[in-house]
Structure 1
């Protein structure tokens, strides 16, 4: 990172924490100059836990404010048209997994919701970003983290359920669940994913779901499917290690019975 960029990050860190320049540099350096990670580290180490940053006291960079205005198109929040334009400018597609990372970063509750001014400004300010090129770097970092950090993958995966849930519903439509499971588990073989799943087992899972009579997925089931594929990533693993006495959702027990009938495990 260039020196003037480092100084800008230090100034932002100090404005949020009121700590010394020396302390700001220390936490930023050991967190690769990511302001949000450095803040969490600072609050954990110095204050014993994270506290809310007083965003109302922050003067946001003019470039960042102008970027919000570009996508808000004269409104008080970024609507669907602006959201799509923003996602495209980041080099993403609405259906990309990394777009869910973006939603989580912005505390975006639904993909159909507008992005408020405070969401946009405070989130990117915490990342140390004022320009779209800087935001692209953050998204590249988050994409790499998604494919290398099991804890982060779990957070994003669980976040997905509420993000794509229809308004007023507590269960996920089966077709939507299948669509997003395919995004998570039909992996690009050139990538080194945290959880590697045998494509044949995942194909059996989809065939089973499409032939099953149920049409909804609960939040607990959504959560447990990731754990199931992590623990038992192949048909051989399921045959050798599946324990029906474990606390799996009923649909996973049914899937095991389906594999017994169709694969003879």
Structure 2
């Protein structure tokens, strides 16, 4: 029995070390105190936040940049980005990389400048990048202001140079990454309407909001409309729409300044609801 307990403790310590980059000694201290990995990680991060930890040095960050940059240039492009993801064991399509793109001011998808790389990681200020990614992922799901900044930046850095809109082949995958993460983390929690369908003040009560299935409805609608791209206005306003729309699409204010594309989607969604789809 004791051997099994020792084995479980070793596994927890190992997991803690991999995630945080902490020493075995520190990992053991946190695991023994908090018993399981998740509360131990939370305590570790809280302790890190309360301490004055030195930011990564400019020289070390620049040397790391050199490991991934192109041989014939001074920027990291797709090949270097894939190597960086491989070294950190993160999927290149992980939503956290959109947060990294925002913080490091990526000029285009999968590209990084030396200045953005160095200044961005220094501003993040967490010594190990694996730990930084974990913290950024959590922040992206729990901080509404940060989520909106990353969401809006995603449109800007992924839009082809010279184009005013974002192609549908790019917009859909990014929505599929960002919105589920925001809904799960709570930053897109429903903001209930305070007025009923007749415009009168409504008494308190539970009001359901955006449903998971509506993401596919939105994509189906865009396909039927045969839109080739999404404008900046639609991209930004869609986030507010997801936050505020009720599950029956009854409290949508058609007189408000919504883009016509969203107006048309509400009509489309109401018809699908009425047909029982």
The residue number in structure 2 matching 1:144 is: 138
Instruction: Report whether the alignment pairs 1:230 with 2:243.
Output: yes
1:34 deviation in Å? Answer: 7.0
The residue number in structure 2 matching 1:220 is: 233
Structure 2 Cα separation of the partners of residues 92 and 258 of structure 1: 38
2:258 to 248, 253, 257: 248
The residue number in structure 2 matching 1:23 is: none
Q: How many residues align?
A: 210
1:166 deviation in Å? Answer: 1.3
1:188 deviation in Å? Answer: 9.4
The residue number in structure 2 matching 1:122 is: 119
Q: What TM-score do you get using the length of structure 1 for normalisation?
A: 0.69
Higher radius of gyration, 1 or 2: 2
Q: What TM-score do you get using the length of structure 2 for normalisation?
A: 0.66
2:215 to 180, 186, 202: 202
Are the aligned partners of 2:165 and 2:230 in contact in 1 as well (CA < 8 Å)?
A: yes
The residue number in structure 2 matching 1:24 is: none
1:175 to 169, 176, 179: 169
- Give the direction of change, closer, same or farther, for the CA distance of 1:203–1:79 in structure 2 (3 Å limit): closer
Q: Structure 1 stretches (4+) deviating beyond 4 angstroms?
A: 28-36
Give matches, 1:1-265, under 5 Å: 33=52, 60-61=58-59, 63-72=60-69, 74=71, 75-113=73-111, 115-128=112-125, 134-187=128-181, 191-196=184-189, 197-232=210-245, 234-236=246-248, 238-239=249-250, 241-264=251-274
Are the aligned partners of 2:141 and 2:185 in contact in 1 as well (CA < 8 Å)?
A: yes
Are the aligned partners of 2:182 and 2:188 in contact in 1 as well (CA < 8 Å)?
A: no
- Give the direction of change, closer, same or farther, for the CA distance of 1:35–1:123 in structure 2 (3 Å limit): farther
Q: State the SS of the aligned residue for 1:181.
A: helix
1:92 deviation in Å? Answer: 2.1
Q: State the SS of the aligned residue for 1:235.
A: coil
Gap regions ≥5 residues in structure 1: 3-27, 37-58
